[in-house]
A and B are shown apart, each in its own frame.
Chain A
Amino acid sequence: MQGLAVSNLSLLLALFLVVVAMGISVREKLDLHRDIIYAILRAIIQLTVVGYVLKAVFHVANIFLTLTLTLIIILNASWNAYQRNGRQKRGFIYSFIAIFSSTTVTIMILVLSGSIRPVAQQLVPISGMIASNSMVAIGLAYRAMRTQFKQQAQQVNEMLALGATGFQASRAIIRESIKTGMQPTIDSAKTVGLVSLPGMMSGLIFAGVDPVYAIKYQIMVTFMLMSATSIGSVIAIYLSYRNYFNDRLQLILPEE
């Protein structure tokens, strides 16, 4: 691990970066300093705990323990996506189905193609990347759907008045919401390497891996995020658009 020299002391010194953010908050009267302290404390505690948990899981190298950890990651991501959807009816289970499916399908393809091996050191971090990207995509898609149902309520009602089903009346909204969920992944794929050196690639280069070898992993990550965000958005939106209608096909808009 040549060049990796993050000692506790250097971390403590790097804390100055947080002080900069705090200073800006105080000087500009942003009233964010409490939030910054809370966020930093949470990040330190969460990451420390996760570090020790991962160390133990990797040490035990038990497939069931690995899968349990993956499931916990998916459950957490589902809960977060559900919160972003204004806690809609069956929102947690819909988000879980979407994130579980997108993570499972993507991981299976990666394992079957030989891109990754089914070991804890690879499965857990890759699952985390997939689930979190899927979660963000689903959150964006949910928000787009809510906004569009509000903005296009009359159009939806006009279609219902002509005898359309909920799906027929929502088709344009469904399409647009899925697109919104997938767009950031497509956009970032276009600029990857040009604007940003993403986490996976940077991590490998940091650890001393040949950059040409590191990009292969980054290309794999780009492929898997495309799959994860598209599967996640499609399933989440197709399941949850029904929440906007009751059993008499009357449009129900969520309260703020």
Chain B
Amino acid sequence: MAEAIITINDLDYTVEDHTVLQDFNMQVIKGDYLTIAGPSGSGKSTLLKLMAGFLSPDRGTIVYQGQDITTYPITAYRQQVSYCIQQPLLFGTTVMDNFTFPYQINNQAVDHDRIQHLLAAVDLPQEYTQKKITELSGGERQRVALVRNLLLEPQVLLLDEVTAGLDERSKQIVLDLLAVEHQRGKTLVKVTHDTDEIHMAHHLVHLEKGGVS
């Protein structure tokens, strides 16, 4: 039987009397490429934020590799289960500032080979490390943000509409990188509105108001 990496049990989440998720249950299998679709307001992004530990459920549990995430050290959990925010914001001055940050917070030496490898994977030249973040296009920003999330080799990627608003080329580069990371064994959970991506999904979960269909 396939091993679950994340299990969500009987989860309720309410915002100001509005029930977003109720008695919600879901399993993410290790190595899966799960696509979550559904109408606006169905709780897709909320579900990712709950899984990333950015929101706490009113009831129920989220279990990661057999351990309730509330008992897991939160910084270690977020490095294992990496949340890619919709329309990411880069920080610092240059692209390199964004790549050194994950290493700095872990007191690790910067792995320049890994940075170069991932930059090439998202079709950005090596010189881009010194480029000012204000000079990047929307598509380039998203690719840099994705590299930033991948540097420390997380086990799971939670992707919140990471291709929304991107031009076709950037979108394809991002999807290709995700496919490669999936083949390398990462578990991907992707929220999307994109009909092409929904049609191509390996494994689709359709969220209706407050539950799965």
Identify the A interface with B (CB < 8 A). 154-155, 157-165, 168, 172, 248-250
Contact = CB atoms under 8 A, between A and B. Distances in A.
Contact of A249 (B75, B102, B106): B75
Given A162-B82, A165-B105, 18 more contacts: A155-B89, A155-B91, A157-B85, A158-B89, A159-B91, A159-B101, A160-B78, A161-B84, A161-B85, A162-B105, A162-B148, A163-B76, A163-B152, A164-B101, A248-B53, A250-B53, A250-B54, A250-B56
A248 B75 CA distance: 9
A154 B89 CA distance: 7
A162 B85 CA distance: 11
A160 B101 CA distance: 11
Contacts of A157: 54, 85
Given A248-B70, A249-B53, A161 B78 contact: yes
A158 B91 contact: yes
Interface of B is mostly: mixed
B52 A161 contact: yes
A165 B104 CA distance: 12
Interface string B140-151: 000001001100
Contact of B105 (A154, A155, A163): A163
B97 to A, nearest CB: 11
B55 interface: yes
Contacts of B79: 162-163
Contact of B78 (A154, A155, A163, A172): A163
A191 to B, nearest CB: 32
A154 B54 CA distance: 12
A248 B74 contact: yes
A134 B59 CA distance: 45
B75 A164 contact: yes
A233 to B, nearest CB: 23
B83 interface: yes
Q: Top 8 nearest A-B pairs by Cβ distance?
A: A163-B79, A161-B83, A163-B78, A249-B74, A163-B75, A164-B105, A168-B105, A154-B89
